[in-house]
Amino acid sequence: MKRIFSIVLLLVGLLLAVDGSMQACTSFIVSGKATPDGRPLLFKNRDTGELNNLTVLVHGAKYDYVANINYPGKGESVWYGHNSAGFAIINTAAYNLNGKEGPSDANKDGVYMRMALEQCASLKDFENMLDTIRKPMDCDSNYGVIDAQGGCAYYETGAKGYVKFDVNDPKIAPLGYIVRTNFGYTGERSMDKGISRYSAISDICLRLAQTHGFTIENVLQIPRYLIHGLTHINLYNYEPSDDSRDVMMPFKDFIPRFQTASTVCIQGVKSGESPLLTVSWTIMGSPLASVVVPVCITPSHKLPGLITAGDDGQSQLCLWALSLKKELFPVSNGEGPDYINLAKLINKENTGILQKIKPIEKETVACGMQAVNAARQKGRFDSSMDDYYQWFDEFVAKSYSQQFPEILK
What tens digit of pLDDT does each residue of 266-302 get?
Answer: 999 999 999 999 999 999 999 999 999 999 999 999 9
Residues 210-225: pLDDT tens digits?
999 999 999 999 999 9
Neighbouring residues of 23: CB distance < 8 A, sequence distance ≥ 6: 47, 48, 49, 93, 106
Question: Per-residue b/e over 24-39, b at no fewer than 16 CB within 10 Å?
Answer: bbbbbbbbbbbbeebb
Q: What was the pLDDT predicted at 219?
A: 97
Given this model, what pLDDT does residue 105 score? Answer: 67
Quick one: pLDDT at residue 102?
A: 65
Instruction: Tell me the whole-structure pTM to 2 decimals.
Output: 0.94
> Is residue 262 pLDDT above 60, yes or no?
yes
Residues contacting residue 183 through CB under 8 Å, at least 6 positions apart:
94, 95, 96, 189, 191, 192, 193, 194, 195, 198
Query: pLDDT grade, residue 16 (50/70/90)?
Result: very low
Domains and CATH numbers, the chain: 25-408 (3.60.60.10)
**Predicted confidence (pLDDT) at residue 10 exceeds the cutoff of 70:** no
Q: How confident is the model over 32-48, as a mean pLDDT? A: 98
Contact 83, 60 (CB under 8 A): yes
Question: How far apart are alpha carbons 141 and 160 in whole angstroms?
Answer: 12
At 103 the pLDDT is 62
Residue 321 has pLDDT above 80, yes or no: yes
Task: Residue 87: name the closest of 282, 297, 381 by CA.
Answer: 297
The torsion defined by the Cα of 176, 180, 183 and 184, in degrees rounded to 10, comes to 30
> Using the 8-state DSSP alphabet, how is residue 392 labeled?
H
